[in-house]
Structure 1
């Protein structure tokens, strides 16, 4: 049976949320992101696109090429609320939902045609989302995730497209090769240097040539250019979590050691989020006293995967929780209410160099081990046995990052 995959994308999501809160922004050039010169554009309205503004651009450059735009420092809490509202609507109407980011979703409607038309159903669902949330949303409908996602981008702004089965290659052929998911700037430049600018050219190339140039990724790009994508949806579960605990060999009241442990846990769990492409919106801290009484506190936060946003909240929860002043046997940290996403939502108050720093640190951890680079605040006996880490430096100490946010 051919699959029926729906892809939905909230148009210029952060900008649309701001316009919903302030109608004076409608039809005006709006840019959301870090408002300092070192900030980064997180979202730009369609009115700014003609000037060349795009997400990920340094804010200083955006101000130079589009000085008349309205610049807004983003509010992650607001966007999280609207994202959850749309998620709840989708969860109540589709059988299988994948939330690929705060503003992007996939739904598997396979088999629903026997009861009613999938395109009609998707159209009614889109209308309901627009009516209930007030947010514009576009969708693409086809037999797989790749074609549906490309179709959504072609449908924007605030529109919808269905690609009938068997017409995937014809739909993709005239488009820029850059529109194939996973073709980034570097791959696009390489393809251009090979004289390849449209999907049609990739469709006509031998698979072996793409594999020689791009390795395994070459095969994936070639298959997607043909309209082939068998990747399944990852069912969305709001209550997924990751956690870490430590039971001390000897009960302690050493606050320095306790906080060192918690910071190390919070830092490593944040890395696990980023490595898995996840964001959290709920933090829980647990302590168990020497009499085995266990207590916990949790805090709802805007979606994030950044250490310097999460660590202060973990310490804050611990300080609110630790009231009995008794010896502590165990401490733990849990991040829950996870969703797929990237660091983008944190760009409102962080500089691009902060994002690049995280990427560089994570690359080192992936290559050499979780504890190969860490904050100075996590060095000490409180962090000796956080997780099952091995030191790849054969006895040499890990790289230490002295972080002023501590």
Structure 2
């Protein structure tokens, strides 16, 4: 059976959400992000014409597009609309993978027997726009890589079908930058040896690519040739990561409990970033000395930033711990995970904070997860601050 894989993307999602709330923002250059020291979380197509793009410092964006309007962003609105669209798709699609807050993979293999896949996807996209008010782009092809590249080429508001026989002609003239796994470093490396188009890359010997870029060389060659066997992974709201600690002696030491919770937040947030997840729900659990167990949770905007998750976890703990009884266990869980493009809270983080996270993660990757951390989460009896 031939595969039919759709990549569906909500166009300029954060911007579209803001325009849904305020139609006066339609048609003007718009930047979603923090203050002068923050970075661009998203921007309208009007702003992109001036060279503005995501993760760019706000100050630089304003130099390129001084007429742009800056909006800090509404976390709750974005999360709610994302969940609304997710629920709509899951009700109608056999297999769906939520790749990030605003993009999805749909496996429609076999549906051509009953209803044309392209026509079905087109009606699904129209339903989202009509019922939720958000513009959608999509591409239908034989695998995830080709459909994702196709969506990028069709935006904004595009609809594209790339049949099996059309894959190579479609991919060949495109820049190697269009392949999802090619970052700036890989692009520069390939460019230095004259590999700038997907067609040139597809004709390179696999062994040569492996010598150039390591074990990913074969995977890159396959993608350049339109080959991708990766399945659409069914999305599950239950996916989570968690940790907990049982004390040898029951405790009421609030500062120590808060320190432990901070350490847990940092450890789990690092794991989120390493595995490229974002969480939208934080759950804190405590078990009292008499074995009564209580939990409290809250939904937040998708993030993987330590300082945001730590703050929310402490707020939940303070609301949860009301009995003033000794505690024998404390736990923390992050759930409702989606794969995220951004590893930080781009609405609140400054350039300095993002640089700090990159440095800390680099040190942890090199020397171990406990090599460096915030003082508020460290056990000073057993660890050393760098």
Do these two structures clear the TM 0.5 threshold for a shared fold by scoring above it?
yes
* Separation in 1, partners of 2:320, 2:41: 35
Compute the TM-score of the two structures, normalised by the length of structure 1: 0.91
Q: Which has the higher mean CA deviation after the structures are superposed, 64-73 or 361-370?
A: 361-370
* Separation in 1, partners of 2:318, 2:193: 59
Tell me the alpha carbon deviations over residues 102-138 of structure 1, each in whole angstroms, 9 at most, x when there is no partner: 0111011111111111111111111111111101110
Gaps of 5+ in 1: 385-396, 401-406
Q: Which residue of 2 aligns with 1:17?
A: 17
Q: Which residue of 1 aligns with 2:175?
A: 176
Q: Which residue of 2 aligns with 1:87?
A: 86
Q: Which residue of 2 aligns with 1:392?
A: none
Q: Which has the higher mean CA deviation after the structures are superposed, 156-165 or 195-204?
A: 195-204
1:116 matched to 2:102: no
Q: Which residue of 2 aligns with 1:217?
A: 216
Gaps of 5+ in 2: none
Q: Is the contact between residue 42 and residue 345 of structure 1 (CA under 8 Å) also seen in structure 2?
A: no
Q: Is the contact between residue 76 and residue 346 of structure 1 (CA under 8 Å) also seen in structure 2?
A: no
* Separation in 1, partners of 2:239, 2:221: 34
* Separation in 2, partners of 1:242, 1:167: 41
Q: Secondary structure at the match of 2:235?
A: coil
Q: Secondary structure at the match of 2:227?
A: coil
Tell me the alpha carbon deviations over residues 10-37 of structure 1, each in whole angstroms, 9 at most, x when there is no partner: 111111111111111111111111221x
* Separation in 2, partners of 1:140, 1:398: 51
Q: Is the contact between residue 142 and residue 148 of structure 1 (CA under 8 Å) also seen in structure 2?
A: yes
Change (3 A) 1:43 1:27: same
Q: Which residue of 2 aligns with 1:67?
A: 66
Q: Which residue of 2 aligns with 1:368?
A: 367
* Separation in 1, partners of 2:106, 2:285: 36
Compute the TM-score of the two structures, normalised by the length of structure 2: 0.96
Q: Is the contact between residue 286 and residue 331 of structure 2 (CA under 8 Å) also seen in structure 1?
A: yes
Tell me the alpha carbon deviations over residues 135-180 of structure 1, each in whole angstroms, 9 at most, x when there is no partner: 1110010000010001101111101100011221111011112111
Q: Which residue of 2 aligns with 1:148?
A: 147
* Separation in 1, partners of 2:320, 2:53: 43
Q: In angstroms, what is the RMSD of aligned CA positions?
A: 1.6
Query: What's the CA shift for 1:287?
Result: 1.3
Q: Is the contact between residue 94 and residue 107 of structure 1 (CA under 8 Å) also seen in structure 2?
A: yes
Query: What's the CA shift for 1:344?
Result: 5.3
Number of residue pairs aligned between Structure 1 and Structure 2: 386
Q: Is the contact between residue 375 and residue 385 of structure 2 (CA under 8 Å) also seen in structure 1?
A: no
* Separation in 2, partners of 1:19, 1:343: 22
Tell me the alpha carbon deviations over residues 169-201 of structure 1, each in whole angstroms, 9 at most, x when there is no partner: 111011112111111112212222212221121
Q: Which residue of 1 aligns with 2:385?
A: 399
* Separation in 1, partners of 2:334, 2:5: 30
Q: Secondary structure at the match of 1:399?
A: coil
* Separation in 2, partners of 1:341, 1:284: 20
Q: Which residue of 1 aligns with 2:30?
A: 30
Tell me the alpha carbon deviations over residues 348-370 of structure 1, each in whole angstroms, 9 at most, x when there is no partner: 11112212222222232233322
* Separation in 1, partners of 2:297, 2:58: 35
Q: Is the contact between residue 304 and residue 344 of structure 2 (CA under 8 Å) also seen in structure 1?
A: no
Q: Secondary structure at the match of 1:131?
A: helix
